[in-house]
A and B are shown apart, each in its own frame.
Chain A
Amino acid sequence: MEPVLALVSGALFTAAIYLILRRSIVKLVLGLILLSNGANLLIFTVSGLTRNAPPLIPEGMLTPLGASADPLPQALILTAIVISFGVLAFAVVLIHRAYEVVGEDDLDQMKDTDR
């Protein structure tokens, strides 16, 4: 399963970088969304996929029987999803506002501050 998820994560990164390099600000934000999802999937994969072994301790025991999945990466990913959701909500409002004041969704029209 790991190689497949690694490839999916790689594909997400590829698509994200392609979208970020486009000139449209809408595609830019779509790229950022894919980028953070690719990162989340990568953390999930790299921490090891353990099937059929939830980290539960049977009643009356102190440790789980045998190997079990590690819940921490999922906690990390959940935190990261919430954070990136907040930031992306801001980014969406930002591009909407930028579109209103500039009147274009073309990044090439937004170079005034670089001069």
Chain B
Amino acid sequence: MSFLVTLPILIPLLLGALSVALWRFRLTQRWLAVAGTGVLTVVSVWLLLEVYQHGILVVHMGDWPGPFGIVLVADLLGAIMTVLGAVSGFAVAIFSLSSLRPQLEKFGYYPLLHLLLAGCSGAFLTGDIFNLYVWVEVLLVASFALLTLGGERSQMEGAIKYVTLNMVSSVILLIAVGLTYGLFGTLNMADLADKFSQVEDTRLVTLISILFMVSFAIKSAAFPFFFWLPASYHTPQVAVSALFAGLLTKVGVYALFRMFTLMFDQDTGYTHQMLLWIAGFTMLTGVLGAAAQFEFRRILSFHIISQIGYMIMGLALYTPLAIVGGVFYIMHHIIVKANLFLVSGAVYRITGSYDLKKIGGVYRSHPWLAILFLVPALSLAGMPPLSGFFAKFIVIRAGVEIESWPIVVVALITGLLTLYSMMKIWAEAFWKKPPEPLEPVRHPGAFWVLYVPIAGMALITLCIGIFAQPIFALAMAAAEQMLDPQVYIDAVLGDRP
């Protein structure tokens, strides 16, 4: 079954190449994207089920054994992330059918989309830190191009900040990888985890861990490093925004979870305490930034930041329940956040603007869209019985259990302010009368197509809430694997003499 591990990377890579070959056949490209991401979703779910039932799957590239070759590893965390990436890719591919500016398809939108998904799957499934760097670069280059597709002034301005800060972060990651190799002579994550656990003087390991932390904190838009995100995420096509919002920052969060459970658990009093501070400030600054905004997608962008705080909080508290909460939070967040951006795109189609002051009355004209907005919006704010309630509940419960009161208070305040922001969007965009007559955006695609991914994602949100028990069990199994690095090490290096 181990060929399954390579499929989530190979499928989008092949589809990307095929889309380039079919450069002029844009209709084919379109349906290839929908079908391809659909297949990717099915394969990823299959992979997840396989890993859930039979344990970690490992593929040694070129059959090079142990720590020498590059390994692909699908443990539960990696498999869960791959599924989430594929699902958001699928939703965005459908949404693109009827929302993308037609001339952008000419500039290779679909090949870039596939490349981005391949990069994400690669980053989630690799078991080698240099390979992780390479996959992160693959997805970054694709995201640079997607972000600037269209070439408007705001996109250029946003892209300069996005490109600069992400390049700086990549250089820091490269330095960390290089220092790790120089000191320990290996790049394999399992081998490194093994070597780190035997090091007596942990100061150098902690130093390297901080380099990794800074690099991935920039990529996940955590507290002192998040400025690139609200400057750029509201500028591209809304389908691109949705994919970025759901997936890209979560690659950083995933890497933090991977590094700081598997490899860097020597000095948790220092590293995880620092993560806890980062988490608290990330939540607060994100949600306060959102409160000051009046542009639909900018509000949502700032909320990405505050939600990242909850996930890092789960990691930083570093109890079994907290890790479960963190994993649950990632699952809930990717679906909900991508969906909210898709709703913002549908509202833009109807009203012709993202500025909340200029729009209104969507509830009157499209009541179903309003209801479909409320599902992810209330879930984001943590209303029961939606997915966000359980996600927040588990993380906060974990904080209460180890009596880490300040972070609990911050998390609760952030939840309340999130509700405020969502109600602001509801009142301005959906409830009030539009201040001036609305001019819908003309687009050849049918409007009902937009409902398909939005309703599908809302259904997933409802299901995560209603069937919270099995999802919780899945997150718990993932957390058990993460907190026992020996399982991972044995799976990867088991056949070592």
Q: Give residues in A with beta carbon < 8 Å to B.
A: 20, 25, 28, 32, 35-36, 38-40, 42-43, 46-48, 70, 72-73, 76, 79-80, 83, 86-87, 90-91, 94-95, 97-98, 101-102, 107, 110-114
Query: In the complex, what distance in Å separates the CA atom of A61 from the CA atom of B212?
Result: 41
- Once A42-B175, A73-B178, A98-B156 are accepted as A-B contacts, the answer to whether A113 and B232 lie under 8 Å apart by CB is yes
Q: Which residue of B lies closest to A45 (CB)?
A: B182
Q: Is B174 a contact of A112 with CB atoms below 8 Å?
A: no
Q: Which residue of B lies closest to A46 (CB)?
A: B182
Q: Is A73 a contact of B181 with CB atoms below 8 Å?
A: yes
Q: Is A94 a contact of B159 with CB atoms below 8 Å?
A: yes
Query: In the complex, what distance in Å separates the CA atom of A95 from the CA atom of B231?
Result: 16
A-B contact pairs, 22 of them (CB 8 A): A20-B164, A39-B171, A39-B175, A42-B175, A43-B175, A43-B177, A46-B178, A72-B181, A73-B182, A76-B181, A83-B134, A87-B140, A91-B167, A94-B159, A97-B151, A98-B157, A98-B159, A107-B160, A110-B160, A111-B157, A113-B161, A113-B231
Which secondary structure dominates where chain B touches chain A? Answer: helix
Which of B141-149, B325-333, B473-481 binds A? B141-149
Q: Which residue of A lies closest to B151 (CB)?
A: A97
Given contacts A42-B179, A101-B156, A102-B156, 17 further A-B contacts (CB under 8 A): A28-B164, A35-B171, A39-B178, A46-B178, A47-B178, A76-B177, A86-B141, A87-B163, A90-B163, A94-B148, A98-B159, A110-B157, A110-B160, A112-B154, A113-B157, A113-B161, A113-B231
Total A-B pairs in contact (CB under 8 Å)? Answer: 108
Distance to closest chain B CB from A46 (angstroms):
3
Distance to closest chain B CB from A47 (angstroms):
5
Chain A residues with CB under 8 A of B244:
none
Chain B residues with CB under 8 A of A47:
178, 181-182
Chain B residues with CB under 8 A of A86:
141
Q: Is B232 a contact of A32 with CB atoms below 8 Å?
A: no
Chain A residues with CB under 8 A of B141:
86-87, 90
Chain A residues with CB under 8 A of B145:
90
Chain B residues with CB under 8 A of A48:
182
Q: Is A42 a contact of B140 with CB atoms below 8 Å?
A: no
Query: In the complex, what distance in Å separates the CA atom of A101 from the CA atom of B154?
Result: 9
Distance to closest chain B CB from A70 (angstroms):
8
Chain A residues with CB under 8 A of B227:
114
Residue of A35, A86, A111 most packed against chain B (CB within 10 A):
A35
Chain B residues with CB under 8 A of A87:
137, 140-141, 144, 163, 167, 170
Q: Is B167 a contact of A97 with CB atoms below 8 Å?
A: no
Query: In the complex, what distance in Å separates the CA atom of A46 from the CA atom of B145?
Result: 33
Q: Is A79 a contact of B178 with CB atoms below 8 Å?
A: no
Query: In the complex, what distance in Å separates the CA atom of A31 from the CA atom of B107?
Result: 29
Q: Is A101 a contact of B153 with CB atoms below 8 Å?
A: yes
Chain A residues with CB under 8 A of B168:
20, 32, 35
Query: In the complex, what distance in Å separates the CA atom of A21 from the CA atom of B133?
Result: 25
Query: In the complex, what distance in Å separates the CA atom of A36 from the CA atom of B175?
Result: 9
Instruction: Encode B167-206 as 1/0 by CB contact (under 8 A) with A.
Output: 1101100110111011101000000000000000000000
Query: In the complex, what distance in Å separates the CA atom of A17 from the CA atom of B315?
Result: 31
Q: Is B137 a contact of A83 with CB atoms below 8 Å?
A: yes
Chain B residues with CB under 8 A of A70:
185
Query: A113's contact among B158, B167, B170, by CB below 8 Å, is which?
Result: B158
Q: Is A101 a contact of B144 with CB atoms below 8 Å?
A: no
